[in-house]
């Protein structure tokens, strides 16, 4: 399939004719008691919601469900300040060779991210620490899945490759903080590389982003600790001491910072405290950047979002800016 339409840049009045993924199919009931169906359609650029399919038009959706690839024609319209796609034609595309990277939100290029992470890994001074990280990051199957996995199903870095991007951001932030404190920067790096490995078992991303059975029952924090324990136990010669394994498990267990936010325990080491704040900084800034870039959060050219945004903990966002008199500076 050729590159698709940039869904985030479609303006009211513009028409769309493209193949898209049904990311979700929502049953809604409005205040007057009328039921309808709304589609969430996506490609690599993002997503857009459809105008409601009221009961008299729902026959057009026969056979269409979450994960269906469809050919869509329609026009973008505004409803209460938000864009929606008024669909005039929709049909299932059967038997197509599906390129999920074209149909799901996706980062453009994983190569430079891997190069940066591998360069940081190569600089680790602790041989045993590097050996534990290598149990995962030298594994070709792990790398292939890791570079596909989203960092969340609907929040920050919810895109193919999102987990890789998030991990690199956490590592960059954590290493910078560690260098200004008395922390071990290599242990912080190892924590960044390992803290979310459980998401490979907690999330699915083949026909949209979802949570697996084990992800629902245990969560990615517990799954990450189990993955680390199993991988270390499988080695004929232990790559680290029992205490070193506990320190790494603690980084995974505590990286959410607070029990009500999903941490198994509170951070008890300096490196765990840094990892928590680095993880939070990556997640929160990504959510803010996404909110500011989403035209559906703003009415027309308004600078302040039309309403509070759930990804920002129900805050509103401001997209005003200035060039500050910037000028070219010789390099």
Q: What is the H or E stretch that residue 172 is in? A: helix 162-179
Q: What is the pLDDT of residue 1?
A: 39
Whether 293 has a pLDDT exceeding 70, the answer reads: yes
Q: Which stretches does DSSP call E strand in the chain?
A: 15-29, 35-43, 46-49, 53-54, 69-79, 82-92, 203-204, 210-211
Whether 3 has a pLDDT exceeding 60, the answer reads: no
CB within 8 Å of 281: residues ≥ 6 apart = 169, 173
Classify residue 117: in a domain, yes or no.
yes
- Give the pLDDT confidence of 118-151 residue by residue, as tens digits: 999 999 999 999 999 999 999 999 999 999 999 9
Classify residue 326: in a domain, yes or no.
no
Q: How many CB atoms lie within 10 A of CB 248?
A: 24
Question: For all residues of the chain together, what is the average pLDDT?
Answer: 92
The predicted model gives 300-304 an average pLDDT of 90
**Do 34 and 121 sit in the same domain of this protein?**
no
**Residue 22 burial (C-beta neighbours within 10 Å; 0-12, 13-18, 19+):** buried
**Do 139 and 282 sit in the same domain of this protein?**
yes
- Say which CATH number the domain at 68 has: 2.40.50.140
Q: What is the pLDDT of residue 144?
A: 97
Classify residue 308: in a domain, yes or no.
no
The predicted model gives 45-58 an average pLDDT of 91
- Give the pLDDT confidence of 164-208 residue by residue, as tens digits: 999 999 999 999 999 999 999 999 999 999 999 999 999 999 878
Classify residue 305: in a domain, yes or no.
no
Q: What is the pLDDT of residue 31?
A: 67
**Do 97 and 111 sit in the same domain of this protein?**
no
**Do 36 and 128 sit in the same domain of this protein?**
no
**Do 46 and 179 sit in the same domain of this protein?**
no
In the chain, the percentage of residues whose pLDDT exceeds 90 is 74
Domain extent, residue 90, equals 7-101
**Do 216 and 237 sit in the same domain of this protein?**
yes
**Do 137 and 21 sit in the same domain of this protein?**
no
Buried b (16+ CB within 10 A) or exposed e, 71-85: ebebbbeeeeeebbb
**Do 222 and 160 sit in the same domain of this protein?**
yes
**Do 65 and 182 sit in the same domain of this protein?**
no
Which of 29-33, 239-243, 305-309 is predicted most confidently? Answer: 239-243
Of the three residues 68, 101, 134, the one that is the final residue of a domain is: 101
Q: What is the pLDDT of residue 102?
A: 81
**Do 25 and 116 sit in the same domain of this protein?**
no
Q: How many domains in the chain?
A: 2
Of the three residues 101, 122, 145, the one that is the final residue of a domain is: 101
In the chain, the percentage of residues whose pLDDT exceeds 70 is 97
Q: What is the pLDDT of residue 2?
A: 45
**Do 138 and 222 sit in the same domain of this protein?**
yes
Instruction: Give the whole-angstrom CA distance, residue 274 versus residue 190.
Output: 12
Instruction: Give the whole-angstrom CA distance, residue 3 versus residue 45.
Output: 10
**Do 125 and 269 sit in the same domain of this protein?**
yes
The predicted model gives 16-44 an average pLDDT of 88
């Amino acid at each position: 399939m050729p590159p698709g339409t940039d869904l985030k840049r479609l303006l009211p009045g513009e028409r769309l004719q493209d193949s898209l993924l049904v990311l979700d199919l929502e049953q809604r009931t409005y205040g007057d008691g009328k039921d309808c169906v709304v589609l969430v359609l996506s490609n690599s650029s993002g997503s857009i919601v459809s105008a409601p399919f009221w009961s008299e038009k729902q026959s057009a959706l026969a056979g269409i469900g979450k994960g269906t690839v469809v050919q869509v024609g329609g026009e973008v319209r505004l409803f209460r300040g938000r864009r929606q796609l008024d669909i005039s034609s929709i049909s299932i595309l059967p038997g197509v060779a599906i390129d999920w990277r074209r149909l799901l939100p996706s980062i453009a290029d994983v190569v430079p991210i891997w190069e940066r992470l591998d360069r940081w890994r190569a600089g680790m001074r602790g041989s045993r620490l590097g050996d534990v990280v290598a149990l995962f990051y030298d594994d070709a199957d792990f790398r292939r899945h890791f570079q596909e996995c989203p960092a969340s199903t609907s929040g920050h870095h919810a895109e193919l490759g999102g987990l890789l991007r998030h991990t690199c951001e956490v590592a960059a932030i954590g290493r910078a903080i560690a260098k200004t404190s008395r922390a071990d920067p290599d242990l912080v790096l190892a924590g960044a590389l390992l803290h979310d490995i459980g998401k490979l078992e907690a999330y699915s991303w083949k026909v949209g982003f979802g949570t697996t059975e084990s992800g629902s029952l245990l969560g990615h924090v517990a799954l990450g600790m189990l993955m680390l324990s199993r991988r270390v136990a499988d080695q004929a010669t232990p790559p680290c001491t029992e205490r070193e394994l506990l320190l790494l498990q603690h980084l995974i267990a505590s990286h959410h910072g607070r029990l009500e936010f999903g941490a198994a325990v509170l951070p008890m080491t300096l490196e765990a405290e840094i990892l928590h704040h680095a993880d939070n900084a990556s997640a929160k800034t990504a959510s803010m950047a996404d909110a500011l870039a989403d035209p559906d959060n703003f009415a027309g050219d308004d600078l302040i979002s039309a309403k509070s945004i759930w990804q920002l903990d129900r805050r509103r966002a401001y997209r005003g800016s200035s060039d500050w008199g910037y000028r070219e500076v010789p390099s």
